[in-house]
Structure 1
Amino acid sequence: MQRSPNKGAFGLTRFWNFFVNINVEASSQLSPYGLAVTTPHFDRDAYVSLLRQCVEGKCIAQIRNVHLHMIKSGFPLLSLGNKLVDAYLKCGGLDDARRLFDEMPQRHIVTWNSIISAYIRQRRSTEAVMLYERMLVDGVIADEFTYSSVFRAFSDLGLLREGRKAHGRLVVLGLEASNVYVGSALVDMYAKFGKLRDAHLVSERVLEKDVVLLTALIVGYTQNGGDAKALDVFASMVKDGIKPNEFTFASILIACGNLEDVQRGKSIHCHVIKSGFEDKVSSQTSLVAMYSKCGLIDDSLKVFDRSINANQVTWTAQIAGLVQNGREESALLMLRQMLRSSTNPNAFTLSTALRACSSLAMFEQGKQVHSLVMKSGLDTDRFTVAALVDMYGKCGCVETARLVFDGLVELDVVVVNSMIYSFAQGGYGHEALKLFDRMPDLGLHPNDVTYVNALSACSNSGLLEEGHRIFSSIHSNPRIELSIDHYTSMVDLLGRAGRLEEAEKLIMQVKNPDVVLWRTLLSACRIHGEAEMARRAANCVLELDPGDEGTHVLLSNIYASAGNWSEVVKMKSTMRELRLKKNPAMSWVVANEEVHTFMAGDWSHPRSMEIYAMIEEVMVKIKVMGYVPDTRFVLQDLAENEKEKSLSHHSEKLAIAFALLSSSNGKTCIRIFKNLRVCGDCHTWIKFVSRIVGREIIARDAKRFHHFKDGFCSCGDYW
């Protein structure tokens, strides 16, 4: 239905026809002064109707024309200035609104609030705070709407002191306890600053609490490690009859996931269903994350499969959940499904996918994700680049990792740590230390992880003196406190270098040595055949964790190597009594984008006959070249012929034999991976194999990378 013209003015249609054709720029040149132009007269109601039409049509150009017409006709802006500002804001013309605002001789508090709020919505918090401060200087008394907006600006800019001052003014005005909107904004601000005690006190003082205020408090707790308190707030909220909304459920499910409280999580899931929020994307995303963090990945997938409109965050949560639960291949398949659904990955999605590639050292898939990073324009995102450096490093491609690293314009501690770690794992100890020593020149301060990685680089390359220097420098760094991880890295360095007594004395300096620290010394004792110290270290491990099967196995092997068979029998008897089983050694190789896993003596692979035949063929060739099986690395109670047979069926040998069979290109690099330390015999065997097949073989074990080429290893037989 068409609106009729107002009395005292000619009709709207006629007016549009008049001023639409005015050829004057109505932008920053507008001024209420000095324009004396004869134009048709309009009354206030006509202008109000025109502005309403402009807002309905979201046409800022027409608002500018109305504004210009008001100026030319001499219509007093004081009468309609606030409405004109409001019209500009509703059509996205914040800068136009601000210019008009600055020219107005008088401004209503609503107009101040509208512009401050608009600045905050557009993430222009600095301008919002400046306008708020000007408001105070002009003697305008801020109201509850001002404060409910400006507190968000303070938190965006990290202005805690200013936020507290505004809180003080709020208390003087008596608005803190009486207005739930202001209370919610205050709680949100203090929560974002990590001041949960203040947030809690504010919430307690608000007389009539609502779901927004309590949800802000719950979010604050979950984001600052107070998940148990978040659950308490939620329980109190339900008890008081305040109905949670979808954001409440999303936050409290995150708390359940962080606490791995699956029972409470399932209970809240039922509550979500009863409240009708299960189809909400925020609830689905939080349910996916909660079940994943609780280790119930299949339940997480069921929730995801029921999602109707999964968005970028939901897809990313599910991919991250799969990686957290050791389903890296499934995570990469889901990334493909995400792309096919036309949902673009973000930096966290791709960083998580790269972590999946790193975990299984899936080099080809990692390169594909790298291409996605480039296409998405995320090759400058620091977390994504750090994940790229980490992925290439864990795939043994240190040079490629270095190329990615060198391409960065700005460096931070995260990406530098990743590069030092890559150098360390690849045996590039000197390069790792050069980068470590460059950090002050780059304006970066080493953190805990930096020192651990640098010490690991020293350990893998036998740089004892440099390791001592770095360990000592931690004492002089006021930012860092020596942790168990630092001691463990130093004990590993000393142990590999044969400085076992020094390593044991260092452990004695630690207030509460943990299992990992003693087990590190035990592993060093195994390398150097130190049975007595190994017994002491093993006893310390078993005091802390009697069911540690790895320690029993290590000590048994040390006794066997020393020929102490009575102790070997005792250890095996103890393991039987405790029902302990040895953690099986596993090796794997990626072929045709599929991971093939092998265990010692494994016949489960479809091509087992060919694999064992390949091993026999290789054995004949390398024995001619001088290879002699080192039977110290098998159980000593076997017959001699059985020892050699057992050696030839180690998991890494099976993986390499399969890689030789399945490689279409006889010149490509072979990459294999093992969950435990590669044994001495396999290390020697792989050196011979690399020579006879003329191919580089890269093996990553639990400690580091070994690059075998032409009969030599990059570790120099030190590992």
Structure 2
Amino acid sequence: MQAIPCNSNRNTVGFAKFLNFARAFETLSPPTLSDGHPSYASLIQRCRETKSITELAIIQTHMLKRGLSHLGLGSKLVDGFLKCGRMNCARKLFDEMPHRHVVTWNSLIAAYVKHRLSEEGVRLYDRMILEGVMPDDFTFSSVFKAFADLGLLVEGRRAHGLSVVLGFEVSSVFVGSALVDMYAKFGTMQEARLVADRVLEKDVVLFTALIVGYSQCGENGEAMVVFREMISKGIKPNEYTFASILISCGNLEDSLTGKFIHCVTIKSGFESAVASQTSLLTMYSKCGLVDDSLKVFKHFVNPNQVTWTSLVVGLVQNGREEIALSKFRGMIRSSVIPNSFTFSSVLCACSSLAMLEQGKQIHAMVLKFGLGTDKYTGTALIDLYGKCGVVDMARSVFDGLLELDLAPVNTMIYSFAQNGFGHEALALYERMKELGLAQNDQTLLSVLLACRNAGLVDEGLVIFASASSNPSINLTNEHYACMVDLLGRAGRLREAEMLVTRVENPDVVLWRTLLSACRIHWEVDMAKRVTNMVLELAPRDDGAHVLLSNLFASTGDWNRVIEMKSLMREMRLRKNPAMSWVDIDREVHTFMAGDRSHPNSNEIYGMLEELIEKIKGLGYVPDTRFVLQDLGDKEKERSLYCHSEKLAVAFALWKSSNRATTIRILKNLRVCGDCHNWMKLVSRAVGREIIARDAKRFHHFRDGMCSCGDYW
């Protein structure tokens, strides 16, 4: 046994203390120093407790001088070096020992696994077997974790077999728990359950490992069964048991059981435990009980990154985007650093609210924290800029990602689709083959939307036909609805109807999509037939009644319009009023058709009249076909002038004179043909870009042209 060179540290061990310790060793009588003598053992134990590497080196040197290399003290020295964090010193000493006890093997294997060096731990285990040293229950409990970390299922099963032969699987709860945990991490819960059932004396660790495994594999009902079994056996849950079973309650949206377990958590004294609190918060969020999750959060003394992120994610998933952004600001003020999941959630909130400026500020924070190339935040940023109509920024973020998988690619294709960049979407779709990415259901839907919004009928038909013969693609009604819309908007109504009849169980959305196409092309006879199909599936479907009423109005059949409106009144169905929003100086202004409630109403209507006069000189003629009321020609024109999107544009132009500022309008319904033509001419007359996001897509108006190519 050679001395292990270890640097002395005078900052941690005083020099005088160091000398006294060395002299004390020199006074010990060699004949009395043996493996059983308490002097070495107690000193090594003291070094382990104080983590004094210098004193350990002195002990080793003295043992070398006395010719002592016995098994027991060598093992204690190895363990001492491990406790002091000196893996290399421990391994060197281990390799030089002529004989090694199983405890020494266990110490080193466990240390490798603990320090994420599982591969080295497995190699040492294999060497242990080859040298004829039989593993014990502690060996197996460490090495099973190593197999799970490395994904070595076959090797894990082989070691499992050896543990059965040696009798540890049934008799040792340590081995049983480690096996359950290993199989759970491999996702083979049937094997995990078989092992758990064979263990004679089960404890909380084993049951918790089984519950965690079922929860992580999505078998939340089984997790609940195991939890009840555990309680029935009188085994008390610990913090991690509660944390896992509460997650399962949330996944099942079982708020009743979740509240019961919350009460048990309080009685057991684990409510204040961080893991339990975070799981409680997540459980209430997944059950839609946002107020309860906020109450749980108030009890956190010092919420950490995971807790803040869980809160923000839950708020966004429940449609509380504004509160989520407020909590995110609180997180920053508390000096808690967000991670990629936090950022992706708050960026999702900005996307839902179309809050471009706040999204840009968060983007700056993403860059500050070095997450600009992270695929999760990158995907969220692409989605944000795509939904705010800033496609060039979305593409810039996409091009800057270091790792590309389906999520950012699908999001980029969808961003192109939303904004009418059909050819760019198709180019990226084709590039997926070069990237080695196989399309999924969402890819297909996004590229079909791109074809629909750009009027690329033939391209869409080819892609759809190819997907129909691809067994890995699951065609849904959503895919068929997109194709029906694509054909219907192109005027190919018969083909669209035939496609609907091909679907095994066409739903209301499919028939309503075809009805909308009939409305665009004034196909009354087909519309009546399709309406009957819609109402047969959903007698109170307000969308079908409104579409048919609008179709009758556009063809001038006012008697039928009156009949439809009377029927809707009897059924207490209401048409959603058209509304438009515009964000000026971080303040959102809302407009409805003919709205005069705005405090600047006079200025808005004055600007509107000025704009109308300008664009009439460019050839604007009001298209009264889009007035769905029985009025005279002049009244129809005045009605068109007061549409909500026209008022929003007029206000934005009156409020902001900077020609470089883009006007951004949001509308809850599809923009009408007259307003579409009007905004094209306004963009040319005033030299400003107008971006309008309606219920279907984005329209980018610039220099008298629209990105949709008049196809929407």
- TM-score, with structure 2 as normaliser: 0.90
Aligned CA distance change for structure 1 residues 286 and 586 (closer, same or farther; 3 Å): farther
Gaps of 5+ in 1: 1-11, 22-37
* Distance (whole Å) between structure 1 residues aligned to residue 285 and residue 48 of structure 2: 47
1:85 aligns with 2:84: no
* Distance (whole Å) between structure 2 residues aligned to residue 600 and residue 59 of structure 1: 79
Contact kept in structure 2, 1:279 and 1:308, CA below 8 Å: no
RMSD value, Cα? 2.8
Aligned CA distance change for structure 1 residues 119 and 660 (closer, same or farther; 3 Å): farther
Instruction: Select the residue among 218, 232, 239 that pairs with 1:239.
Output: 232
* Distance (whole Å) between structure 1 residues aligned to residue 315 and residue 209 of structure 2: 29
* Letter matched to residue 479 of structure 1: S
Q: Deviations over 1:266-323 (max 9, x none)?
A: 2222222232222222222222222222222222222222321211111111111221
Instruction: Select the residue among 300, 305, 309 that pairs with 2:302.
Output: 309
* Distance (whole Å) between structure 1 residues aligned to residue 62 and residue 528 of structure 2: 95
Corresponding position of 1:17? 19
Report sequence identity in percent: 64
Residue 671 of structure 1: SS of its match in structure 2? strand
Q: Deviations over 1:133-158 (max 9, x none)?
A: 22222222222222222222222222
Q: Deviations over 1:678-717 (max 9, x none)?
A: 2212212222222233211111222221111122211111
Instruction: Select the residue among 196, 206, 209 that pairs with 1:213.
Output: 206
| Count of aligned positions | 692
* Distance (whole Å) between structure 2 residues aligned to residue 539 and residue 199 of structure 1: 54
1:568 Cα offset (Å): 3.0
1:119 Cα offset (Å): 1.8
Q: Deviations over 1:611-632 (max 9, x none)?
A: 4454344334434544333333
Residue 673 of structure 1: SS of its match in structure 2? strand
Map 1:704-719 → 2, pairs under 5 A:
704-719=697-712
Corresponding position of 1:490? 483
Aligned CA distance change for structure 1 residues 440 and 616 (closer, same or farther; 3 Å): same
Corresponding position of 1:33? none
* Letter matched to residue 215 of structure 2: T
* Distance (whole Å) between structure 2 residues aligned to residue 607 and residue 715 of structure 1: 32
* Distance (whole Å) between structure 1 residues aligned to residue 287 and residue 630 of structure 2: 44
* Distance (whole Å) between structure 1 residues aligned to residue 453 and residue 439 of structure 2: 20
1:334 aligns with 2:336: no
* Distance (whole Å) between structure 1 residues aligned to residue 355 and residue 657 of structure 2: 18
Gaps of 5+ in 2: 1-13
Corresponding position of 1:289? 282
Aligned CA distance change for structure 1 residues 263 and 605 (closer, same or farther; 3 Å): farther
Contact kept in structure 2, 1:39 and 1:72, CA below 8 Å: no
Map 1:554-593 → 2, pairs under 5 A:
554-593=547-586
1:278 aligns with 2:271: yes
1:118 Cα offset (Å): 1.7
* Distance (whole Å) between structure 1 residues aligned to residue 58 and residue 301 of structure 2: 45
Structure 1, 80-89 or 194-203: larger mean CA deviation: 194-203
Corresponding position of 1:255? 248
Residue 177 of structure 1: SS of its match in structure 2? helix
1:106 aligns with 2:99: yes
Corresponding position of 1:128? 121
Corresponding position of 1:362? 355
1:484 Cα offset (Å): 2.9
Map 1:44-63 → 2, pairs under 5 A:
45-63=38-56
1:240 Cα offset (Å): 3.2
Aligned CA distance change for structure 1 residues 474 and 84 (closer, same or farther; 3 Å): same
Instruction: Select the residue among 659, 662, 675 that pairs with 2:652.
Output: 659
Corresponding position of 1:430? 423
Contact kept in structure 2, 1:19 and 1:69, CA below 8 Å: no
1:540 aligns with 2:542: no
Contact kept in structure 2, 1:354 and 1:366, CA below 8 Å: yes
1:92 Cα offset (Å): 1.7
* Distance (whole Å) between structure 2 residues aligned to residue 644 and residue 656 of structure 1: 18
* Letter matched to residue 584 of structure 2: A
1:334 Cα offset (Å): 1.7
Instruction: Select the residue among 110, 115, 128 that pairs with 1:117.
Output: 110
1:405 Cα offset (Å): 1.6
Q: Deviations over 1:200-254 (max 9, x none)?
A: 3333333333322222222222222222332233333333332222222222222
* Distance (whole Å) between structure 1 residues aligned to residue 161 and residue 386 of structure 2: 53
Instruction: Select the residue among 432, 436, 459 that pairs with 2:452.
Output: 459
Corresponding position of 2:6? none
Q: Deviations over 1:93-131 (max 9, x none)?
A: 223222322222222222222222222222222222222
Contact kept in structure 1, 2:373 and 2:400, CA below 8 Å: no
Residue 700 of structure 2: SS of its match in structure 1? strand
* Letter matched to residue 397 of structure 1: V
Contact kept in structure 2, 1:550 and 1:583, CA below 8 Å: no
Q: Deviations over 1:443-472 (max 9, x none)?
A: 222222112111111111111222122122
* Letter matched to residue 693 of structure 1: V
1:225 aligns with 2:218: yes
Corresponding position of 1:26? none
Corresponding position of 1:197? 190
1:41 Cα offset (Å): 7.2
Aligned CA distance change for structure 1 residues 540 and 534 (closer, same or farther; 3 Å): same
* Distance (whole Å) between structure 1 residues aligned to residue 27 and residue 466 of structure 2: 80
Map 1:382-401 → 2, pairs under 5 A:
382-401=375-394
Structure 1, 344-353 or 365-374: larger mean CA deviation: 365-374
Q: Deviations over 1:416-449 (max 9, x none)?
A: 1121112222221111111111112122222221
* Distance (whole Å) between structure 1 residues aligned to residue 387 and residue 177 of structure 2: 46
Corresponding position of 1:351? 344
